[in-house]
Structure 1
């Protein structure tokens, strides 16, 4: 760690710049969550894709991003470890995002949409693992939690802002622009997503440097499932990955059942958007606070407490009868999820072997992505067995995660010596 780096409000300037860069990038990418389904349904995409319906193709296009990203993250993380070049991988991913976002404006077949979405998944894999490894490596055990919290807060803010304006942008088109002429609402969204990625590239290129002590690491990949410590069954980083998986499954239960939620609570789309955003907003606000507190009081206590709190909160979401019930529950859900995620990333950074942060932190980032996908599928399928069923399962998984962390994860990284 370079102790001579500049600080902004007591935080390493590189963390702030990386956070702002990821915020700009997240704004652009979250645009697409709203815009792509509308684009596919608009009739501007020609041809057929194996006779699939529009809804199925939309699901495949949206889901392909997470699938490709999850598969590639351990590989890109390990490659950045091997080369000792974090900034290079962040820039490669952001540049690929920029071109992919722009190319949507030229894509009018389902095949090209899938190719571009897969390229975005690869871009995410390049960016996510290298960025988190860089945040971890410019930190120490005294400030890693706070740094992870600040970084994730920026990312979540971007993720929350994007969808708010994307629908209005599409509906407000076409636009008459000075140089470009007439631009459809869809192309305007794709161009802005590309510009957001370009801003991220510029910020990282000019204001971020790799830590001086980050060197190439040619050792074998160190991702264990079984504990290397007598008396423990699971590797602590793998256990933190499982806890993150269970937390993110609960995180994703609401979105796929919007119609059922609105019907149960006798509400419209606006109230649902408030309920959905309550979690993200509270998580963004609380993560830096909890992360910094974990630097002082320890990571494990926050992770366990957050998972325990998720149990009654998620359970309550399955039995709400009023919109304000759901808004309150989702806000508390965001607070509890923040207590899990930022300290878990910080503890994984504490436990990661020097030069292996990219590969080992990918365990948690992959787990989060898979959890969101699994949670969406779980909720969409299990709702047929009763409104409360997905939430009962989510609460049970959170309780299981708490038990795993209590029994398998040490309080400090120095208690574990991981061997290759």
Structure 2
């Protein structure tokens, strides 16, 4: 096992702890993304009842799923800042993974809408302990010469887990009930919740045994919860990390527009659920394929060229989706949109990591992860509100956000690497 791990580490050329953390996040990502598919099925099953507070089932599902994102994103600046103050990353990750395992198991005993809402809310808070501390740990284990590559490897495996979970979830539920050796059986839902619990426990074990905080991590007791908006020391109007956060929010919202309008997409393209699934997955496929090479490339050529070019590419790849009538072309558009996001995400985290001072990684990088989470939550709500005005309306809205984000990063972001190879930037002379 040790020799295998060393060979894998050599292949990806990252710190062993970064790769271990990537594998741990892949495992918990599988379990957490399981629930995106399983919870709606569980809500509409006979296993759940109780007070609905006047809401339809579809709205209850939306509230349960959205609560996770809003609580997760809202709590990240606080957990990130607290981990900076204490100078600890591993304990925060373990607290989050422990909470995730416990809440995954709690679904087995949930039989009311209110209990599902409470459990999903606690999961959002649990994951808020994991994300800023994990990103901060990756940042502190890296240097300016390999930070992008480390971020790329971490995100690649995390996204593999996130993409694999929904694929397996439906099959696990539908193949139930499962017979046990003692003659009893468990339902497909209980099996899915059990598997999600196991994946969180695997992550907990990996982090417990193989992860240590970097020796250089220092407590920052003077850290506060403020997020600077103005650039206090540089030549631009806006703080670069705040700018990257706003651009990440716009990018995430533009990408997430697609997720809640499946009936309208399928009707317009005259396609079935299989094509929609492929189009939805195209974004993740591009991310998995490109996060690591782009992360490494930005260590050589600089962060800014990739961020700007990715935001520019986001504009046409978002707009065109509102006017396509071909399933294959929609797949290619989503794939191209994923390429655009891959060019932005790892280099943005690397740039923010370059700017984070000693003991600030958790708080600085949580700005980006928080903003991305809010964008993922806002996008579906926006498309649902705008689709009555025409199929093109949500995508025009997303395009406007992409344009604004491009203007922000082009005018407010400076390169952070002291010396880089030459690479053209879209819009540069």
Whether the aligned pair in 2 keeps the contact of 1:351 and 1:414 (CA below 8 Å) is no
- Please state if 1:49 is matched with 2:40: no
1:164 aligns with 2:186: no
Deviation digits for residues 16-68 of structure 1 (CA, Å, limit 9, x no counterpart): 11111101101001110000011010021121132221111111111110111
In structure 1, distance between residues paired with 2:183 and 2:288: 36
Give how far 1:243 is off. Answer: 1.0
Task: Report how far residue 393 of structure 1 moved.
Answer: 1.4
Q: Is the 8 A contact 2:255 2:318 kept in 1?
A: no
Confirm or deny that 1:330 pairs with 2:337: no
Quote the Cα distance in structure 2 between the aligned partners of 1:298 and 1:231. Answer: 19
Instruction: Give me the whole-angstrom Cα distance separating, in 2, the residues matched to 1:400 and 1:56.
Output: 31
Please tell me whether residue 379 in structure 1 is matched to residue 383 in structure 2. yes
Q: Which residue of 1 aligns with 2:294?
A: 290
| Structure 2 counterpart of 1:260, from 244, 259, 264 | 264
**Equivalent residue in structure 2 for 1:361, among 356, 361, 365:** 365
Native 8 Å contact 1:15 1:151 kept in 2: yes
**Which residue of the partner structure matches residue 91 of structure 1?**
94
Q: Is the aligned partner of 1:112 residue 2:119?
A: no
Q: 1:15 aligns with which of 11, 15, 18?
A: 18
Q: TM-score, normalised by structure 1?
A: 0.95
SS of the equivalent of 1:94 reads helix
What SS class does the counterpart of residue 291 from structure 2 fall into?
A: helix
Q: What TM-score comes out, normalization by structure 2 length?
A: 0.93
Long gaps (5+) in structure 2: 1-5, 420-429
Preserved contact between residue 51 and residue 114 of structure 2 (Cα < 8 Å): no
Alignment pair present for 1:408 and 2:408? no
Counterpart CA distance in 2 for 1:11 and 1:342 is 15
CA distance in 1, matches of 2:407, 2:414: 13
Q: How does 1:103-182 map to 2 (within 5 A)?
A: 103-178=106-181, 181-182=184-185
CA RMSD of aligned residues (A): 1.5
* Count of aligned residue pairs for this structure pair: 411
After the TM superposition, which residues 209-228 of structure 1 pair with which residues of structure 2 at under 5 Å, given as runs?
209-221=212-224, 223-228=227-232
Give the distance between the partners of 1:414 and 1:127, measured in 2 at CA. 31
1:269 equivalent in structure 2: 273
Q: Distance in 2 between matches of 1:361 and 1:266?
A: 42
Contact 1:311 1:399 in 2 (8 A): yes
| Distance across 2 between alignment mates of 1:85 and 1:180 | 47
Structure 1 SS opposite 2:185: strand
Aligned partner of 1:200 in structure 2 is 203
Q: Does the CA contact (< 8 Å) of 2:291 and 2:342 recur in 1?
A: yes
How far did residue 231 of structure 1 move? 4.0
Superposed CA deviations along residues 62-95 of structure 1, whole A, max 9, x for unmatched, are 1110111111111100111111110110011001
Q: Are 1:145 and 1:295, in contact at CA under 8 Å, matched by a contact in 2?
A: yes
Distance 1:317 1:125, change over 3 A: same
Shift of 1:229: 2.8
